[in-house]
């Protein structure tokens, strides 16, 4: 804890110079170590880029950002939330990475009323009857990208599709989201152990089934292994692969041209063409020397959302309920890198979901925007939320 405190102090100095007290205190929690560290770092880097581009301020107010590593462990996330709320007296918490960590952090966030903005997870619990007036997301409701791929498959007249995902809750939610909008035949629905990295047997089964398309959810290293093995088996040239969180800004650097042709559903990619996005991508590449991922974009948007909310209350963030109401209203007023954005009743985004395709050009590969399957999309659970 002492090391984290010193890090926070050093970060504060870098942002607010010699001023003794910041106007607004923000806690950032995420996976900043271990196998998922790249995702947490992207969210943090996106958030900090917005702060630094505003000279250490958001909404005209000087900010202090206190960073905590939740290690993707619910108990560590809970400790971080309690520290940030009870000891650091933060005005908002951002990040909260994975769903299991966010849900563990929820009790002190709910009890305190402090504004919380998730930049990765959007669990069903918080989208429906469990929605909270002070908990928001600049990411996506968990199965939204999968729903977009279901629409894409339907629009492109794939008569039958083969489905694959890891055997855990998120995997089941993704396949359910796809099927919510896809009305064709599901050839098979295959769940693999979460620890499995060799998909040769499943690829053989897929090949024998000869579907018109395959939809997969294999995040991170699982996705890298799956795509590589599909390429080695020659399957990427035989069947269209639709995916979510499998080929994106975090995995493309490792896959390179091997991902050529794979289609991905997402709320944003660095190839999206609008002024805010292009400005963000340019600044991010200059600052960090890499292309931002959708996780970076969610972090960047969270900072700019907070900036708009802070400005709307003239920097008075002491009243948690008033500040939460300002955040909700600011959702429709700040400029998101993803294009149209506002909060639904359940504080989840109403946003577009796009289809991108990995396209190889020479030795390079990049995602290309090819369709917008869902426009101003509302998640499937918002009607269960009692907020207005």
Residue 161 has pLDDT above 90, yes or no: yes
Q: Tell me the pLDDT band of 170, cut-offs 50, 70 and 90.
A: confident
Residue 218: partners with Cβ closer than 8 Å, 6 or more residues away: 164, 165, 166, 225, 226, 243, 245, 246
- Across the strands, what pairs with 126? none
* pLDDT 10s digits, 326-336: 999 999 999 99
Task: Give me the pLDDT at residue 104, please.
Answer: 95
DSSP per-residue letters across 199-262: -HHHHHHHHHH--SEEEEE--HHHHHHHHHHHHHTTGGGTS-EEEESSSSTTTHHHHGGGGTT-
Residue 128 tokens read as 């429906």
* pLDDT 10s digits, 173-213: 999 999 999 999 999 999 999 899 999 999 999 999 999 99
Q: Does domain 144-266+352-380 have CATH number 3.10.310.30?
A: no
* pLDDT 10s digits, 211-220: 999 999 999 8
Is residue 361 exposed (0-12), middle (13-18) or buried (19+ Cβ within 10 Å)? exposed
Instruction: Name the DSSP class of 345.
Output: T
Task: Give me the pLDDT at residue 18, please.
Answer: 39
The arithmetic mean of pLDDT across residues 78-92, rounded, is 98
Strand residue runs (E) in 83-196: 92-95, 115-118, 135-137, 160-166, 185-192
- Across the strands, what pairs with 165? 191
- Contact between 264 and 244 under an 8 Å Cβ cutoff? The reply is yes
Query: Closest Cα to residue 271, out of 351, 215, 354, 349?
Result: 354
- Across the strands, what pairs with 266? 354
Q: How far is CA 243 from the centre of its chain?
A: 15
* pLDDT 10s digits, 118-145: 999 788 889 999 999 999 999 999 899 9
Residue 325: partners with Cβ closer than 8 Å, 6 or more residues away: none
- Contact between 206 and 236 under an 8 Å Cβ cutoff? The reply is no
Residue 2 has pLDDT above 70, yes or no: no
The arithmetic mean of pLDDT across residues 247-275, rounded, is 96
Task: Give me the pLDDT at residue 99, please.
Answer: 87
* pLDDT 10s digits, 326-384: 999 999 999 999 999 999 999 999 999 999 999 998 878 999 999 999 999 999 999 99
> Alpha-carbon distance 190 to 173, whole Å?
13
- The residue ranges of every structural domain in the chain are 2-140+273-343, 144-266+352-380
The arithmetic mean of pLDDT across residues 94-120, rounded, is 95
**Other residues' Cβ atoms within 10 Å of the Cβ of residue 97:** 26
Task: Give me the pLDDT at residue 90, please.
Answer: 98
* pLDDT 10s digits, 286-338: 999 999 999 999 999 999 999 999 999 999 999 999 999 999 999 999 999 99
Residue 266 has pLDDT above 60, yes or no: yes
Q: Tell me the pLDDT band of 9, cut-offs 50, 70 and 90.
A: very low
> Alpha-carbon distance 174 to 371, whole Å?
20
> Alpha-carbon distance 151 to 132, whole Å?
29
Give per-residue burial for 138-177: e unless 16+ CB within 10 Å, then b. bbbbbbbbbbbbbbbbeeeebebbbbbbbeeebbbbbbbb
SS3 string of 270-314? CCCCCHHHHHHHHHHHHHHCCCCCHHHHHHHHHHHHHHHHHHHCC
Give per-residue burial for 322-344: e unless 16+ CB within 10 Å, then b. ebbbbbbebbeebbbbbbebbbb
Task: Give me the pLDDT at residue 21, please.
Answer: 67
Residue 107 has pLDDT above 60, yes or no: yes
Rounded to the nearest integer, the mean pLDDT of the chain is: 93
Residue 295 tokens read as 């996780």
DSSP β-ladder status, 24-30 and 135-137: unpaired
Task: Give me the pLDDT at residue 307, please.
Answer: 98
Residue 207 tokens read as 């090949």
Residue 7 has pLDDT above 50, yes or no: no
Q: What is the pTM of this model?
A: 0.91
Residue 203: partners with Cβ closer than 8 Å, 6 or more residues away: 229, 230, 233, 235
Task: Give me the pLDDT at residue 169, please.
Answer: 84
Topology match between the domains 2-140+273-343 and 144-266+352-380: yes
Task: Give me the pLDDT at residue 13, please.
Answer: 38
Q: Tell me the pLDDT band of 100, cut-offs 50, 70 and 90.
A: confident
Instruction: Tell the CATH topology of 2-140+273-343.
Output: Rossmann fold (3.40.50)
Task: Give me the pLDDT at residue 141, please.
Answer: 92
DSSP β-ladder status, 263-266 and 341-343: unpaired
Task: Give me the pLDDT at residue 349, please.
Answer: 97
């Amino acid at each position: 804890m002492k090391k984290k405190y010193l890090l926070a102090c050093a970060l504060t100095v870098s942002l607010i110079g010699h001023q003794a007290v910041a106007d607004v205190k923000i806690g950032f929690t995420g996976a900043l170590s271990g196998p998922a560290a790249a995702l947490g770092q992207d969210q943090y880097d996106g958030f900090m880029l917005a702060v630094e581009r505003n000279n250490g301020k958001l909404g005209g107010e000087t900010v202090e950002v206190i960073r905590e590593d939740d290690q993707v462990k619910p108990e560590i996330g809970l400790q971080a939330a309690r520290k940030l709320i009870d000891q650091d007296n933060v005005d908002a918490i951002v990040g909260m990475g994975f769903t299991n960590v966010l849900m563990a952090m929820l009790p002190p966030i709910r009890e305190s009323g402090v504004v919380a903005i998730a930049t990765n997870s959007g669990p069903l619990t918080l989208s429906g009857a469990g929605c909270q007036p002070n908990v928001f997301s600049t990411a996506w409701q968990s199965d939204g990208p999968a729903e977009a791929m279901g629409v894409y498959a339907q629009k492109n007249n794939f008569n039958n599709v083969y489905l694959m995902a890891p055997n855990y809750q998120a995997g089941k939610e993704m396949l359910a989201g796809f099927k919510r909008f896809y009305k064709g035949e599901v050839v098979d629905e295959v769940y693999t152990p979460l620890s499995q990295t060799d998909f040769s047997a499943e690829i053989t089964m897929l090949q024998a089934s000869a579907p018109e398309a395959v939809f997969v959810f294999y995040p991170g290293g699982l996705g890298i292994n799956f795509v590589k093995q599909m390429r080695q088996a020659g399957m990427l040239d035989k069947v269209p692969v639709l995916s979510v969180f499998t080929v994106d800004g975090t995995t493309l650097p490792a896959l390179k041209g091997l991902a050529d042709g794979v289609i991905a559903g997402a709320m944003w990619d660095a190839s999206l063409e609008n002024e805010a996005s292009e400005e963000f991508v340019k600044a991010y590449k200059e600052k960090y020397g890499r292309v931002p991922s959708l996780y970076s974009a969610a972090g960047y948007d969270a900072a700019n959302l907070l900036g708009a909310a802070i400005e709307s209350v003239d920097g008075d963030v002491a009243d948690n309920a008033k500040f939460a109401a300002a955040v909700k209203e600011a959702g429709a007023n700040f400029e998101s890198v993803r294009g149209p954005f506002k909060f639904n009743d359940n504080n989840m985004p109403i946003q577009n979901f796009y289809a991108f395709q990995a396209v190889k050009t020479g030795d390079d590969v990049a995602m290309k925007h090819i369709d917008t399957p869902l426009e101003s999309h509302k998640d499937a659970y918002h009607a269960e939320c009692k907020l207005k």
